[in-house]
């Protein structure tokens, strides 16, 4: 990984702490999500479009479950000038889940 990819990784890890930590700070997700963010998640039938929809989705999920196990696994980062596409797998509830963020 190069320096920019490490910066993206650090941002993704900080973002994940906002909603997976013991004391979630869901409002802080607004700082990480782009207005035109698109997310493909295992919980949604269709892709989620826009900052507000993504914040609502992440917040609703975090409020409806107790996350007692969270392990980040594979992460793939592609940087395109000032944009990045991230695909990440993680273990939550002892199951591996993969999602993509294009921001």
pLDDT tens string for the chain (103 positions)? 899 999 999 999 999 999 998 888 999 999 999 899 888 887 788 999 999 999 999 999 888 888 877 888 888 999 998 888 888 888 876 655 555 555 5
Give the span between the Cα atoms of 25 and 75, in whole angstroms: 23
Q: How many domains does the chain have?
A: 1
Per-residue model confidence (pLDDT) at position 73: 84
Q: For residue 7, give the CATH number of its domain.
A: 3.10.450.50
User: Whole-prediction pTM value?
Assistant: 0.76
Report long-range pairs for 92-101 (Cβ below 8 Å, ≥24 apart). 92/20, 92/67, 93/65, 93/67, 93/69, 94/69, 97/42, 98/42, 98/74, 99/39, 99/40, 99/41, 99/42, 100/39, 100/40, 101/12, 101/37, 101/38, 101/39
Residue 51, domain extent: 3-102
């Amino acid at each position: 990984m190069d320096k920019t990819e490490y910066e993206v990784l650090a941002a993704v890890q900080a973002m994940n702490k906002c909603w997976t930590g013991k004391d979630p700070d869901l409002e802080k997700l607004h700082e990480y999500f782009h207005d035109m963010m698109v997310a493909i998640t295992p919980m949604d039938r269709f892709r989620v479009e826009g900052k507000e929809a993504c914040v609502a989705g992440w917040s609703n999920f975090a409020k409806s479950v107790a996350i007692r196990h969270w392990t980040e696994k594979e992460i793939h980062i592609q940087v395109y000038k000032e944009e990045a596409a991230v695909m990440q797998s993680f273990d939550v509830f002892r199951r591996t889940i993969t999602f993509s963020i294009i921001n």
